[in-house]
Amino acid sequence: MTSNDIEEVRTLIKNTLRLLDVRRHNEPSKGFGIFRAIIPTIGIYDIQTLHFFIEQYKRDAEEARTELSNAERKIRDCFQAKDREISSMGGQITLLNGQITSLNNKLTTSQNQNSKKSTEINKLNEQLEEKQKKIDALQSKLKELEDLVADLRIENNNKDDEIQEKEKKRKRLKEDNKKLNRDLSQFQRSVILIGITGSGKSTLANVITGTNKFEESDYCVSETKKGKLEKFTAENGIKYHIIDTIGINDTELSTQVTLKKLKETARQSNYNLNQVLFVFGGKFTKAEISAFNLIREKLFKNNDDINKYITFVRTRFTHFRNESECKNDIDRLKSQIGKEIVELCEGKIIHLDNPPINISGGDNEIVETQIDLNKKIRELSRKKILKHLLFHCQESFQDQDVDNNY
């Protein structure tokens, strides 16, 4: 309601009160009191004037009643509008009360949840404090460990320095040893003979040394039960150590025992080996292939070492002086054992014939003639193998880890 509306209502109420005051004077119980007040003024006999006042009064009363009715209607309409506003506001208040109640419920729920979360947070804080205590304890231990590690590192660095110094000394000694071996190889060379039982190793050792100090045997019987070393000086002044070994496939010994005996034999030359002669007679059998692979695995580190330090010696080859026959035999050998093994040695295959000289029985003259012939043949084989060793027996593989390989 505006200020103008309020002012209009106030005016209506005043007019109404004024009309009510006129009515009070006009009530029947009063008995024409108003006219008694007027008559002395206008005169009792002036009836026409009295009628005029009466008619005027009636008109004024009717206007007053009309105004009063309009005022009542406006007041009623105003109050009804206010009632509607109040009713509408009551609905809004009810809605707001509902919303407030809902918010209060949510607030209560939220407070309960917050209370639970607060409890959980308190528990988590307690757990966190416990964890922090453990972390502090672990950090303290970690600090102790770091200090210990630092001390160990210092100690380890000192040991590393010692190890490096020892390694430098070892390398110097190794280089000095290599140089000594190279110098020594000019005057002394070590050759080891390896092969299966009955391949002719001991006979070849006698041929090379020009002696009969190695026990020779029949082709299938082994006389060598332990390694043997013989020293001799060739006609060119070079000193040789010739090492004979037991047969790798000796049926009376296991592979491990055989390798152990090979190691013991190699030790006689302080492992200063210059060349390995792998001896075989006739065909290169499966047993000899197995023996060669065993030696390759246990004695050499790589194929380059095999190229330098191993020679195949084919014995019992009567045409050993015929280069064409030797070449044909090498081709047959490739078909037997494969090109890979032959090429590993870069074709270092020597053909020899070492016939026996311990012949007995029969006609003495024929036997002696055969022995003399066999000695000449063996001497030719000796010259051929010594010539080969002169050019292929100059470096040593002493630095090989023989102990581990065996």
Q: Are residues 252 and 164 in the same domain?
A: no
Is 339 part of any domain? yes
Is 300 part of any domain? yes
Q: Are residues 161 and 230 in the same domain?
A: no
Q: Are residues 177 and 299 in the same domain?
A: no
pLDDT computed for residue 252 by the predictor: 58
pLDDT band, residue 19 (cuts 50/70/90):
low
Q: Are residues 387 and 252 in the same domain?
A: yes
Single out the residue of 263, 260, 293 nearest to residue 278, CA to CA.
293
Q: Which domain holds residue 161?
A: 156-185
In the three-class reduction of DSSP (H, G, I as helix; E, B as strand; rest coil), residue 334 is classed as helix
pLDDT at 323 over 70: yes
Q: Are residues 214 and 350 in the same domain?
A: yes
pLDDT computed for residue 110 by the predictor: 81
Q: Are residues 172 and 222 in the same domain?
A: no
The count of structural domains within the chain is 3
Q: Are residues 220 and 347 in the same domain?
A: yes
Single out the residue of 389, 405, 401, 400 nearest to residue 185, CA to CA.
389
pLDDT at 330 over 50: yes
Is 104 part of any domain? no
pLDDT computed for residue 353 by the predictor: 95
- Integer-rounded Cα Rg, in Å, for the chain is 69
pLDDT band, residue 208 (cuts 50/70/90):
very high
pLDDT (mean) for 147-151: 85
Is 138 part of any domain? no
Is 107 part of any domain? no
Name the domain boundary from 70, 92, 114. 92
Q: Are residues 201 and 72 in the same domain?
A: no
pLDDT computed for residue 35 by the predictor: 44
pLDDT computed for residue 31 by the predictor: 41
Percent with pLDDT over 90 in the chain: 17
Percent with pLDDT over 70 in the chain: 75
Q: Are residues 195 and 181 in the same domain?
A: no
pLDDT computed for residue 3 by the predictor: 66
* pLDDT tens-digit series, residues 29-58: 444 444 444 444 444 445 677 667 778 877
Single out the residue of 189, 193, 184, 188 nearest to residue 350, CA to CA.
193
* pLDDT tens-digit series, residues 281-314: 888 888 888 888 888 887 776 666 777 788 999 9
How much is the mean pLDDT over the chain? 78
Single out the residue of 246, 241, 202, 200 nearest to residue 220, CA to CA.
200
Q: Are residues 310 and 388 in the same domain?
A: yes
pLDDT computed for residue 174 by the predictor: 75
* pLDDT tens-digit series, residues 150-178: 888 888 888 888 888 888 888 888 777 66
Q: Are residues 285 and 212 in the same domain?
A: yes
Is 145 part of any domain? no
pLDDT computed for residue 188 by the predictor: 78
* pLDDT tens-digit series, residues 359-396: 887 788 899 999 999 999 999 999 999 999 988 776 76
pLDDT at 91 over 70: yes
Calculate the CA 240 to chain-centre distance: 54
In angstroms, the CA 301 to CA 280 distance is 23
Q: Are residues 177 and 216 in the same domain?
A: no
* Residue 164: half-sphere exposure toward Cβ, Cα within 13 Å: 6
Calculate the CA 172 to chain-centre distance: 39
Name the domain boundary from 92, 121, 136. 92
